[in-house]
Amino acid sequence: MITLKKVQTKKDLKTFVTFPFTLYKDSEYWVPPIISDEMATLTKGKNPALEHADAQLFLAYKNKTVVGRVAAVVNWTEVNEQQIKKMRFGWFDVIDDYAVSEMLLNKVIEIGKSHNLEYIEGPVGFSNLDKNGALTEGFNHIGTMATWYNHPYYIAHFEKFGLETEKEYIESKFDFRTVPVERFKRVNSLITKRYNLKPLSFTNSKDIIPHLDAMFELFNNSYSKLSTFVPISNKQQEYLKKKFISFVNPEYIKFVFDENNKMIAFAIVLPSFSKALQETKGKLFPFGFLKLLKAKKNSKTALFYLIGVEPHYQNKGVTAIIFEEFHKSLSKNGIHTCIRLPELADNYASHQIWKDFNCEIIKRRKTFKKTI
């Protein structure tokens, strides 16, 4: 018999967060979260995203053993201001038993109906900066700290339940050593002179902080037309600054300014922490922090996390400035592999940016939707 339990205590929450550690204990591709960080993400009062969203967490039990989990999420900014009547679900993990998936997803539908919402979609997070999508291809590639991993049978469970594809994302990689840097140098020279632009790079994290508010404003402007977009509030911005600044190598953040010192482009690249996170097993202490610090300095794989360009400057070659700056930093640090984190398959403007990089698609993922 399968039963559902709503997460109500800190002990329940830890059980919710750590269930995947059992589910994927034999996987060489699953990358665990940091347990304390994941618990904070799902705790009201610690994650400001939950000031504008409700998240109900559920555990599925069978014979007193946890066999599944799900977060049922309503983003009220999306529902009330954008008039998108979506019931979100995420943090979805199950054993290979369709009855468990069915019970968890029916609970999501039940909550969605109670709020008069029109459809469910998932796996998604609270906003477009959270993890999104279930893996549909590329199960034999190691995950990242910015994505969810899942077993192939999840997709069969979704389809049996009647969920249909809503959005598709692609992830790709390229050999950094083959990047056509001379081309970017030529374009960079032309663009910086034509528009009187200037790049800014860093060697110290504290020097980045004064520019982060402008970066988030630019992020909201440059991503507002995407179908997944939900604005990032000021409190969320402050939270994200504290959460991610320790993971970012300051050399891997690039800004571009116009002649009036207004930021018109930014890019964030992260060192790959995948292997280090697997070694930490979700714990920062006593030695996990040191493993992450070592990966931050020495990883030879880099993840292209975010690139944003002011709409007026899009399609004008501004990214050539960013790529030349990255070439200097990544070459110095011996990077040989670059991963492009999930991008919407229909975000053709973004795909054009990478047309000269000989990218190889290594993963696909989807969100799934059902009318309720």
pLDDT digits (tens, 9 = 90+) for 318-356: 989 999 999 999 999 999 999 999 998 988 777 888 888
- The domain locations on the chain are 2-169, 174-364
Q: What percent of the chain has pLDDT over 90?
A: 71
Tokens of residue 293, six digits: 């610090």
Q: Which range is most confident: 94-98, 205-209, 225-229, 283-287?
A: 94-98
pTM reported for the whole predicted model: 0.91
Fold of 174-364: Aminopeptidase (3.40.630)
What ranges in the chain are assigned the alpha helix state H? 10-23, 35-41, 76, 98-114, 153-161, 181-195, 212-223, 234-244, 274-280, 288-298, 319-332, 348-353
Local structure of residue 337 (DSSP, 8 states): E
Specify the CATH number for 2-169; select among 3.40.630.30, 3.40.50.1100, 3.40.50.300, 3.40.50.12780: 3.40.630.30
User: Is 60 in contact with 100 (CB distance < 8 Å)?
Assistant: yes
Mean pLDDT lowest among 154-168, 270-284, 328-342, 350-364: 350-364
**Confidence class of residue 284 from pLDDT cuts 50, 70 and 90?**
confident
Q: Comparing 2-169 with 174-364, is the CATH topology the same? A: yes
Mean pLDDT lowest among 33-42, 229-238, 275-284: 229-238
